Chains A and B, each alone.
Chain A
Amino acid sequence: MVDKIKVENLNCFYSGKQVLKNLNLTVKKNEILSIIGPSNSGKTSFLRTLNRMNDMNVSFSRKGDVFLDDDNIFEMNPEKLRTRIGMLFAMPIPLPMSIYDNIAYAPKVLGLKNKKNMDEVVEQSLRDASLWDEVKDRLDSSAIKMSGGQQQRLCIARILAIEPEVILFDEPCSGLDPISTAKVEEAMLKLKEKYTIVLVTNNVKQASRVGTRTAFFLMGELIEIDKTQNIFLTPKNKLTEDYITGRFG
């Protein structure tokens, strides 16, 4: 498969303290790469570097490069980059507007779609996020009043509306119950056909359920990356085996 994202010798620091150590990995097109690891292992820092959300943090600095297709992301306009690499946060953050406006917001501001197509964009995005049937009769009601699981899928739909190439999921189910989690995972597997996905999760089982490949991070280092079944059945590194079997952490 084609490499979508290539990370070369990436080192990241917050206020001089190193959080990612000499990272080299690739994300292949149309796969779900799950990243597992205990807290403070640099998973989220890695995601936030990929779409340059870390730029907003003044204490952040980095060495090394990341390529999206063949473009160095650190030489791109960060706003343009974020329309190509969307991000879903751990807590659902619906904007304080209606369901419809939440999805139409970015395409409207960015001038991606004209008004006539907007209804279609909203419907298609909600369908792809498996939310359309639940909300089609109340698109004008506030997004804040939805349940947590619905809000998280709304946030997925919001990302789909800007048609990115890659979607980053940052522990998307940490605040959700098992049924909502199943729905988000179902949406993720469906999205794999069109998008490339990087999933950070604290839930090892989730990685084994949806990941095409799985990477194990520990203390800012990549310990192991392989096909998910290899990681879970025949891990090469002792640390990986200890983590997935729950012997530490």
Chain B
Amino acid sequence: MNFKLSPKLSQKIAYTLLVISTIIVIVPVLTVIIIIIKNGWSALSWEFLTTMPKDGMRAGGILPAILGTLAIVSCAICVTLPVGVCAAIYLNEYAKDNLLTRIIKLAIVNLAGVPSVVYGLFGLGIFVMLLGFGVSILAGALTLSIMELPVIITTARGALSSVPYSFREASWSLGVSKWQTIRRVVLPNALPGIMTGAILSISRISGETAPILFTAAAFYVPHLPKSMFDQVMALPYHLYIISTQIPNMPKNIIFGTALVLLLMVLSMSLIAIVARLYFRKIRKW
């Protein structure tokens, strides 16, 4: 049988398939957001954001979990960003293209795909037990920063190699050294890309549960974190506990907590978008 679609019909079918796929992508995300907002909105209040939990988490606020997450994430990004960007600069600008470098680059790309719970166990072994940090902000932050390093390195390398090679040559030809060229020409122009990668990383690690499960998070801490060696409550872990471990948990608090976490992550992504737009605008090429 010689069956052939007319070009017009095949065009229509392809178009329909593409549109349906796009809808399939959008619908679940929108549904999740709508359900969380609908169920959690009533729990949101100034008090919810700024007080300690009461009644075995069934009432009161989630302040310690918010602060805990902020502490862990800011410490993690303070470690991972400088180290990651420096490593990216080395790999992109200095490393010679030989077998070792290629293996390192390949390893970094693959490390980004390791499941986060594996990083959690690694952090438990190294930071909590071997180095004796205990279950603490420091151990959790270091674990998250190691998990995020491959992502930061990869995005930063992408940003660095998007700066045209000719800019480097022009700078070198004026007698400017390699390092000064990186500092004055390459880095300023790679900054938007690096920033975007960094902020997306922040939003990604704010939501991670597995790596902090064994290294930083506690079920309940009656006081706010005081030092780097304190255990803390963290939003993702707190959400896990209140939705599975506590009987008779008011539903709106669960969804309210999820909403706060979602808003934190979304606002970070929003900052990333705004930052990228801003840097694109001031970039002059």
Contacts and interface: CB of A to CB of B under 8 A. Distances in A.
A79 B175 contact: yes
B175 A93 contact: no
Contacts of B169: 53, 56, 89, 93
Nearest to A84: B175
Nearest to A106: B174
Contacts of A96: 167, 185, 189, 283-285
A42 interface: no
Contacts of A87: 173
Contacts of A105: 171, 174, 176, 184
Interface in B164-202: 166-167, 169-177, 180, 184-185, 189
User: For chain B, which range describes its interface: under 10, 10 to 19, 20 to 34, or 35 or more residues?
Assistant: 20 to 34
B97 interface: yes
B176 A106 contact: yes
B96 interface: yes
Given A95-B170, A96-B167, A105-B184, A80 B175 contact: yes
A155 B169 CA distance: 13
A20 B109 CA distance: 41
B167 A82 contact: no
A56 B284 contact: no
The secondary structure that dominates the A interface is helix
A93 B285 CA distance: 11
A1 interface: no
A95 B171 contact: yes
User: For chain A, which range describes its interface: under 10, 10 to 19, 20 to 34, or 35 or more residues?
Assistant: 20 to 34
Interface in A66-98: 79-83, 86-87, 89, 91, 93, 95-97
A80 B173 CA distance: 10
B175 A162 contact: yes
Contacts of A29: none
B175 A82 contact: yes
Contacts of A93: 166-167, 169-170
B96 to A, nearest CB: 6
A158 B174 CA distance: 8
Given A58-B97, A144-B284, A53 B172 contact: yes
Contacts of A23: none
A16 to B, nearest CB: 17
A96 B185 CA distance: 8
Nearest to A112: B175
Interface in B82-134: 96-97
A110 interface: yes
A225 B220 CA distance: 86
Contacts of B177: 79
Interface in A88-124: 89, 91, 93, 95-97, 105-106, 109-110
Contact of A95 (B97, B167, B180): B167
Contacts of A82: 172-175
Given A95-B185, A96-B189, A142-B284, A79 B176 contact: yes
Contacts of B175: 79-83, 106, 110, 162
Nearest to B98: A58
Nearest to B96: A58
A212 interface: no
22 contacts: A51-B173, A79-B175, A81-B175, A82-B173, A82-B174, A82-B175, A89-B166, A89-B169, A89-B170, A89-B173, A91-B166, A93-B167, A95-B170, A95-B185, A96-B189, A97-B284, A106-B176, A109-B180, A143-B284, A145-B284, A159-B174, A162-B174
Given A93-B166, A110-B176, A158-B174, 15 more contacts: A53-B169, A56-B169, A79-B176, A81-B175, A95-B167, A95-B170, A96-B189, A97-B284, A105-B174, A105-B184, A106-B171, A106-B176, A110-B175, A159-B174, A162-B174
| 5 A-B pairs with least C-beta separation | A83-B175, A106-B174, A82-B175, A142-B284, A93-B170
